[in-house]
Chains A and B, each alone.
Chain A
Amino acid sequence: MALTTCAPIEDDIFTQARITVTAGDDQAVTRVQAQVKLTNVNTRQVTTVADFDGASVTVEVLRGAYQIDIEGVATCQLAGGAAPRVRQFRCQSDYVELVRQETNELSLNMIFLD
């Protein structure tokens, strides 16, 4: 009965997300300077982060559903040994669930603007 169980408390309210931007099979992303904007679909709270490590960035957010927007520049190394290029890009995802207790791994395709 209700008295034998206390209120179910879920204090693990945060989760980590590791977001990786990818440019396709023909080129590798070596360095990124971009702003990642995560908008919580339920609360409309916005979290921004920009400290990329290579093509990935790690962020801690409230567990929930998110809309992700990334905009910035990246250094891309084309296959075949061509000189690396700095390219402007954008990534977007309308709905991503970040609810796992362990790190959520995400991969988003870049759309180049140049």
Chain B
Amino acid sequence: MTMKAIAAADADSALVEHTTLARVVGGQALRNPAVHGDAYQRAFSQLALGIDLQRQSVAFTPQKGSGYTLPYLKVDTYHRLNNRSTVWGGASYTTGKQHRVRWNSTSDYELLQPYVLADTLGGDTRRERYAISGGYATAIKRWTLGAEMLVRAEQEYRGRDPRMRGIVTDLTLRLGGVYRLGRYCLDAGIEADIYKQTNSVAFYREEGVIPEYQMTGLGTEYNRFSGDKRSLYYDGGGVAVLLHAAPAMGSGLWADVTLEQHRYHRKLAEYNSMPLTDLYNEHVEANLGWKRDSRLAAWAHVDYTRRTGNEHVGGMSNARYFPVIACLTMYKSHAVDACVSALYGKKGWNVVMAAGYISQNEQYVYPHRQMDRGHAYGRLQGQCFVHATSRLLLTINAHAAYYGNVDDKLQMPFANMGEAFTGLIRHQHKFATASYTDLGTKARADYAWKKAKYGFFIEVGGGLTLCSASEHQTQFLSSIGITF
């Protein structure tokens, strides 16, 4: 081979190494920066300009809207300084629109639900997100030690009434170590996170205002502080412990355990930071499996998430100060995801199969409300690398999944609920207990320049999700960029 061809092949190898589906085996361990520092042999950097689009015929989850249009500019780099040390980093800017959001005037719904500010009108929101990250890992004798920092700043706002605004800052710090014991690597890491969001809704039009509800779960609201109390903030954070053991090379058993707890306090800014609610997210995840190189693996996965919501009871006000006279646990949610998975790969392609069961039980204690759902699922993912020419590498990914509803329970005091809240719960229940078929594919072409250190790529993908409630979702993603 010529030098250029060798360099091109090396660049291809770096791409394959960094994007292979085989990374799904023990992928959770990459949150440990020491593991991340050891994970790749080759340097790989990428600058991408792209767009992600999603459209739903009807919003599956009204609080998240019926889709989004999110163009972005992103750079990621992973560089080996020498045989012992590695640095990596990334920066991205994303801007765009979230379509037809209803029943949610707060950013980061997935994180903070059900404790959000909400109204019945909603509308499109604009989003801007800045994210930077960087990490370093170095090997010292039998140890590899690493550290990583991630920062996210985001704002979401609406330019017409109701003018919601959420400004988020999220800082994550990770420290980790890997110890080589025989042919095994024993990894441990810790992660700490600090989260803030200021959230408000304003009305400019003279026609009047609509109430903003302080939602408390399953269609309930904190009545006393709903209506015209539209300025609040979230204060939170948490820690995670990551443990992982796997053979460094060859075949063997591997296992990982992740323990996380995050807490988010919602406070009323206009009433001397009166605490309204506290949300506790506790997450345990474990994987146990066997693998042979990166070609063959089988593993069992289970994760359990408990979300507990406490409501603070406000006493008699005194000069806009509300004492807290009691704290009651009113919202409880338990979610379990258990599956068995297998990976089979040969040179140039990988297939991952999974079959499992996922369930979520939500409860509002009094007046009693309950919504349970369970889905059995099967998922198939495939990936193929094709060298079309000596300089052109094609990467094709495809997946198909089916989530079939097997459990459904709803208990609601509909007779005592307002029409709008009844409509919300019926909508949520309809989509939570539907069955879904998910199909998607993605193709990427990487062309190595003559100066083979640099490459050009273009990526196009699409997806279709069919919902048994006679609705559907389409997705499109596209990006172009350079690799170096």
Residues of A within 8 A of B (CB): 1-3, 6-11, 13-14, 41-45, 62-65, 95, 97, 99
Question: Given A2-B263, A3-B259, A43-B224 in contact, is the A13-B330 Cβ separation under 8 Å?
Answer: yes
Cβ-closest chain B residue relative to A43: B223
Residues of B in contact, count (CB < 8 Å): 30
A99 touches B310 (CB 8 A): no
Q: Which residues of B contact A (CB under 8 A)?
A: 222-225, 238-239, 241, 259-263, 280, 282, 306, 308, 310, 313-316, 325-330, 365-367
Distance, CA A8 to CA B327, complexed state (A): 10
Q: Is A7 a contact partner of B222 (Cβ separation < 8 A)? A: no
Instruction: List 26 A-B residue pairs with CB atoms under 8 Å apart, sorted by A's residue number.
Output: A1-B239, A3-B241, A3-B261, A6-B261, A6-B282, A7-B261, A7-B308, A8-B280, A8-B310, A9-B329, A10-B328, A10-B329, A13-B330, A14-B366, A41-B224, A42-B313, A42-B314, A43-B222, A43-B224, A44-B224, A45-B367, A62-B328, A65-B314, A65-B315, A65-B325, A95-B316
List the A residue with the shortest CB-CB distance to B237. A2
A45 proximity list for chain B (CB < 8 A): 367
Contact A64 B313 (CB under 8 A): yes
With both chains docked as a complex, state the minimum distance between the C-beta of B154 and any C-beta of chain A, in angstroms: 23
Interface SS majority for chain B: strand
Q: What is the bound-complex CA distance between A93 and B287, given in angstroms?
A: 58
Question: B223 — nearest CB in chain A belongs to which residue?
Answer: A44
Q: A64 touching B326 by the CB < 8 A rule? A: yes
Give Cα A43–Cα B222 distance, bound, in whole angstroms.
6
Determine which of A7, A41, A95, A99 lies in contact with B326 in the assembled complex, contact meaning CB atoms within 8 Å: A99
CA distance in complex: A14, B365 (Å):
11
Nearest-neighbor residue (CB-CB) of A65 within chain B: B315
| Residue of chain B at shortest CB distance from A14 | B366
Q: Is the CB of A65 within 8 A of B313?
A: yes
Tell me how far the C-beta of B235 lies from the nearest C-beta in chain A, rounded to whole angstroms.
Answer: 14
Residues in B whose Cβ lies below 8 Å from that of A9? 308, 310, 329
From A7, A10, A62, A65, give the contact of B282 (CB < 8 A). A7
CA distance A98 to B470 in the complex (A): 49
Q: Which of A6, A7, A11, A95 has the most CB of B within 10 A?
A: A7
Chain A residue with Cβ nearest B240 = A3
Chain A residues with Cβ below 8 Å from B306 are: 7
A2 contact from B224, B239, B314, Cβ within 8 A: B239
